[in-house]
A and B are shown apart, each in its own frame.
Chain A
Amino acid sequence: MKKQGAILSPTLIAIVGFLTVCPILMLALGSFSEGLGAFGTLTTAKYVSAYTDPEFAKIIINTVIFTLGSAFVATALALFLAYLNTRTNVPFKFLFQIISLVPMMVPHILFAVSWALLLNPTNGMLNIFLRQILGFDAISLNIYTLKGMILVEGLLDLPIAYLVIAPAMSSFDVSLEESSRVCGASNWRTLFRITLPVLRPAILAAATLVIVRSMASFAVPSVIGMPGRIYVLATHIYRVVATGYATDYGLAAAVGMSALVASITLIFVYRRLTKEGEKYVTVTSRGYRPSTIYLKGARYPLFGIVGILSFILIVLPVAVLFYTSLIPYSMAPSAKAFASMSWRHYLAVLNDPVSLLSLKNSLLLGVGGATLGMVLSFFVAYTIVKIRSKASGFLESLSFLSFSFPGIVVGIGFMWFFVQTPLYSTIWALLIGYIATYLPYGIRPLTSAFVQIHGNLEESSRVCGGGPLYTMRRIVLPLLVPGIVSGWILMATMFVRELSLSVVLSRPGTEVLAVQILRFAEDGLWGRLSALGILMIFISTTLVLTASLIGKRLTKI
């Protein structure tokens, strides 16, 4: 154990450090230099101007409410859906599993635009529907509010929370719950006294991930926040950058540093809260199998609740997306709109050679990047959980560096770094950048699964003469399959629609889907954008199904 740590930790710290520290270091240099590049005369002027902005306090308050709210929405929904999906006999499980992952597959900007079409105060489809059904002209739900932002961002990050919580739920030793019931506790009591406390690391991991992600997210704050004149950190950075032609990314990086500090603090809090790792071990050497709770009478009512929730929150926006991809321009549903539907936007997208090339590149990066990313994540997660030392805590913080930097800035950091290397403007730069930035997507689901596996299992294998690699292959890996599948899905779907790095690093020949998305968005071509979005949902669904099927095969070994 000790020996392994001695080799593994430094090696991983070197690899992960190299991947994530370089771009952040460049940004840090840029934030302390005069001029527009990464190198210049040292100055603290950018920090002074960033943090003496009178509006900054208001921005921080908005950001805190926005990120905590989104984390709450995403985690609560994910718990509910994951519990029903993994532990009960609710019908049509398979469908709900896909539905809870759909927001992961859509470019966020599109999902946000769909919600604006549904819930804008003037002629949002849902508002019109409610007015006609209830006959109240006064009804006007407004998406352009902080509440609206929280709702949409929470939904968009639901898959992240779901994929971190679900594997922990499914590798849950049933004997704990059984003991509780044998002692006379009801199902509810068992849930609150046993199940949820044991899941604490997973729940906290999910919430941490969503907080950090929503802090860096730009789509919802710009599409929904700006019209409501509600600014958070990401939009504040955008305004700093966009006002003027000679953009100062050093100044933007100075503002972004606060997101970084907040994230690192969060990681430390998380580690403190889950310090007694042993408490959460549920898979030991004695017979283990997750049990199914038979819902009996509650089966259909619960199914109804999940159905309605899924419909309103996820199916509806995607339906709006599909509708937008068929109509010639943005219009409210009407006889005229349905009469003018056609596949024209799909044809326009599919007849464009750059679109086809970017489709190919994005698929390649999605599959290849996620696979490589998971290999690295596996070792990192193992070190973080099983070798709990100072070094592993450091490693965990390192893995979050690029991830927690607001998207508009982190791409520039990678550009400043890669331009110093021969990899600049190659597909490899994108691959490395993706893995470095989204490493937590691979690590989180794995750590929450790792935590639950007792050291006994590995020790027994060793005692019987199994080497460390053999133990890994025959004991640890099979138990981790749900976590591995989750991480792979998160990474692959992310890489297919990745935007922040792609728009900076992509060049002729290495175009990816995001570049197309941004082009259509900047020209206001929502129809084509939606068509591309629907195609992306198909691609990602295929990836998810393939990964899930392979995962199912593997658990049976």
Chain B
Amino acid sequence: MRKKMALGVILSVLTAVAAFAAEPSGALVEKAKAEGKVAFYANMTAIEPIIADFGKKYGVKAEYTRLSTTKFVATIMTEHAAGKLTADVLQAPVPVLEFLKEKGVIASYVSPAAAGYPKWANTDGKIQLFGIEYAALIYNKELVKPADVPKTYQDLTDPKWKGKIVMADPATHPTTISWLVGLKENVIKSDAEWMKFLKGLAANDPMFVASFGPTPAPIESGEKLIGISMPKYIVTKAPAPLDWAHVSQPMMGTPRGIAIAAKAPHPNAARLFVDYWLSRDAMTIMAAKVGEYVLTPGVYPPIAGIDKAKVIPIRELSDAEIKSWGKEFKKIFARP
């Protein structure tokens, strides 16, 4: 563990040096200006500052269409089938982009701005990973004593948390399902121990909500004390009394990706936008304002301890896997 951490730090210092990628070429900017605008479809919210900054920098207007994850594939495929896909750039959780790639909706592009990113962030020359939708144990720091804060994920099974936990429904919420499977594959040593963790968590009778969105409110208000939620809320919901449990194990999340659409109406503006999106400037805004975990070396959200934490992307689960694990978790978490 320690060795890995040290290696990670050395690596990130090295890559940080390389990450000062060149500005986009003047020719590309001119071509993009001639195209006039770029249509950007994303599932992320609160990214208006980045959109605005792009417009200011290059004089090219970015039009931002926000699609929720449940509507993303349906919308893109509907427009694509009707020959009306107006998107130039697509941003979504990586499994969504992988699905669209199989359907031939995604173009090849490797941005020079991604030079400093880790190797695994672009393996196919099409989808560029730039961040991780990380999850953690988020708790109310006014109501939970420092001594009680979980030191490992397994601490959540302590009976003292009974009736005090909130989480997204583990039978249906893809990110939570992936996260639980990620524990099994990356964190908890044996399957028996992992099952013990699940059963212990279920025994504490967590309150289920539809997705991550409704998880922080009950923790803030003290209706619940702790939840499986996202550290980014510590930034976006400040001054709420939220903090994350600095567990000894790595943090995990579903990777977020960005790609250019195969028949982009504004191909040059699309490239310029992706280059800008991956730049240190844009990613700094994203980390600072939206609290996101980004892959740009040395850029961290303003959350104490995140720069020391190890954050790993979860292996992509296919929809069939997500559904079958969902069924499994439904049984495990069913009330007796």
Mark A residues whose CB is within 8 Å of B: 36-39, 113, 116-117, 120, 122-123, 144, 222-223, 226-227, 229, 238-239, 241-247, 249, 328-332, 340, 352, 354, 408, 412, 415-416, 419-420, 424-425, 503-504, 507-509, 515, 518-519, 521-526
Contacts and interface: CB of A to CB of B under 8 A. Distances in A.
Interface string B155-177: 00000000100000101111001
Given A245-B319, A504-B75, 12 more contacts: A36-B73, A39-B81, A120-B218, A122-B222, A122-B223, A123-B222, A226-B169, A227-B209, A243-B177, A330-B217, A352-B48, A415-B78
A247 B45 contact: no
A329 B240 contact: yes
B71 A524 contact: no
A507 B64 CA distance: 9
Which one of B211, B212, B223 has the highest number of Cβ atoms from chain A below 10 Å of its Cβ? B223
Given A518-B68, A519-B66, A523-B236, A331 B74 contact: no
Contacts of B145: none
Contacts of B217: 113, 330, 524, 526
Contact of A247 (B71, B169, B335): B71
Nearest to A218: B210
A518 B70 CA distance: 13
B233 interface: yes
A354 B214 contact: no
Interface string B95-119: 1100100000000000000000000
B112 to A, nearest CB: 28
A526 B223 CA distance: 15
B123 to A, nearest CB: 18
Which one of B78, B169, B323 has the highest number of Cβ atoms from chain A below 10 Å of its Cβ? B78
B224 interface: yes
A245 B213 contact: no
B248 interface: no
B216 interface: yes
Contacts of B63: 508-509
Nearest to A526: B217
Given A246-B99, A419-B82, A524-B214, A37 B77 contact: yes
A416 B215 CA distance: 33
Contact of A331 (B173, B220, B323): B220
Contacts of B209: 226-227
Contact of B171 (A39, A243, A249, A521): A243
Contact of A241 (B48, B70, B224): B70
B239 interface: yes
B263 to A, nearest CB: 16
Contact of A329 (B78, B86, B220): B220
19 contacts: A36-B77, A122-B224, A123-B221, A239-B171, A242-B211, A329-B237, A330-B217, A330-B240, A415-B75, A416-B78, A425-B86, A508-B63, A519-B66, A522-B68, A522-B211, A524-B214, A524-B217, A524-B237, A526-B217
B53 to A, nearest CB: 15
B323 A244 contact: yes
B20 interface: no
A468 to B, nearest CB: 43
Contact of A243 (B45, B78, B163, B172): B172
B220 A245 contact: no
Contact of B210 (A222, A331, A503): A222
Interface string B189-229: 00000000000000000011111111111101111100000
B79 interface: yes
B104 to A, nearest CB: 14
B182 interface: no
B77 A239 contact: no
A38 B78 CA distance: 8
B75 A223 contact: no
Nearest to B321: A244
B319 A246 contact: yes
Contacts of A412: 71, 74
A508 B65 contact: yes
A123 B143 CA distance: 13
B223 A123 contact: yes
B310 to A, nearest CB: 26
Contact of A522 (B45, B73, B169, B177): B45
A452 to B, nearest CB: 44
A113 B211 CA distance: 15
Contacts of B221: 117, 123, 330-332
Nearest to B320: A244
B93 interface: yes
Contact of A242 (B70, B95, B207): B70
A415 B322 CA distance: 27
A188 to B, nearest CB: 45
B215 A245 contact: no
Given A117-B221, A419-B82, A523-B213, A36 B74 contact: yes
Given A37-B78, A122-B223, A518-B68, A244 B174 contact: yes
